[in-house]
Structure 1
Amino acid sequence: MWKYKSLLRGYCNPKQLRLLSSVPPNEGSKLPSSHTIQNETASLKVTAMHKPNKIDKWLLVWDKKYKTFEEVPNFVSCDKMEKARNWARIKISTYLMIGTVLGCIVMIYSGKQAAARGESVTKANLEMHRRYQEEMKAQANQPK
């Protein structure tokens, strides 16, 4: 099994590696005795499978690979899962970039409005320090 480790990608681990062949699932994982060593590797199709959790199922449905959560099978190929994750990663980063641009626009508008009212960061900082110094002087003048 470890010789197929290079086929695993993404979040799939060796426990999720499934060997798919022409042998029906009810016969177990043993190959018929008629196969030789050369024919075993030629007749097997090795696919890394991933058991999706709730988030993975949500990603597969959001990616429109499946219509509902019930339609998602117990095991999905790692390639399909990796494509769904990459698609979601791109989609989320796009939304975050749009949100950042909108936030910047709002902050620019807010800054211009404050400048029109005569407010500035420097004035606010000086006012805060003045109030702080007055409070400290008032506390120093009070008898203990």
Structure 2
Amino acid sequence: MWAAAAAAGRATKMLERNVSSILRPTKGMDLKIKRGFCSKSQEGSKQNPEVGGHSTFKVPGHKPSDWEKKVLLWSGRFKKVDDIPETISFELIDAARNKLRVKISYLMIALTVLGCIAMVIEGKRAVGRHESLTTQNMERKARWREEVAQSASAKP
């Protein structure tokens, strides 16, 4: 039994040597910094970027196309085409697109509900006229049988 435990310990040590240093747990290291998603330390991100000599990066303005101007108008961001500035930020365009997507989805929901209500009303009218899919199918099959009988009697 002692030999099996010793063999298991040796196997574990061999596996630990083969595991890369990133995956191996280290003692005394903060796991938040070890995530690997960010190369900056937490203290560095709290500093003012102007102090370290780095200036903040600003995205230059974007000249909107005609389609983007329409999106900005439809989303309600601007009232007239003349109100839209020469250059706008990408964030403004993204916000306008998202708002327009929401408006379109609400419109589609409303149209779906109206379509369902119209189909229910039309179905109730068809019931009042004693029309149903079953009767329509039976009439169609009766016509097909007549056509087959007529074509069979016409052939001899």
**Band the TM-score falls in, shorter-chain normalisation:** 0.5 to 0.7
Identify, as 1 or 2, the structure richer in strand.
1
Q: Distance in 2 between matches of 1:48 and 1:132?
A: 71
1:77 CA drift (Å): 1.0
Normalised to the residue count of structure 2, the TM-score between the two structures is 0.58
Q: Does 1:56 align with 2:68?
A: yes
Q: Distance in 2 between matches of 1:53 and 1:142?
A: 69
* Contact 1:51 1:74 (8 Å CA) reproduced: yes
Q: Distance in 2 between matches of 1:72 and 1:137?
A: 73
Q: Distance in 2 between matches of 1:82 and 1:48?
A: 15
Normalised to the residue count of structure 1, the TM-score between the two structures is 0.63
Distance 1:135 1:48, change over 3 A: farther
- Listed as ranges, the gaps of 5+ residues in structure 1 are 1-37
Deviations 1:108-138 (A, max 9, x none): 0110111121111111111112212322332
Please identify the structure whose Cα radius of gyration is greater: 2
- What is the aligned-residue identity percentage? 34
- Listed as ranges, the gaps of 5+ residues in structure 2 are 1-51
Distance 1:137 1:49, change over 3 A: farther
1:66 CA drift (Å): 1.8
Structure 1 residue corresponding to 2:131, chosen from 119, 122, 144 = 119
Distance 1:72 1:126, change over 3 A: same
1:58 CA drift (Å): 1.1
Over the aligned positions, Cα root-mean-square deviation in angstroms equals 2.2
Aligned to 1:68: 80
Distance 1:70 1:142, change over 3 A: farther
Which of structures 1 and 2 has the larger relative contact order (alpha carbons within 8 angstroms, sep 6+)? Answer: 1
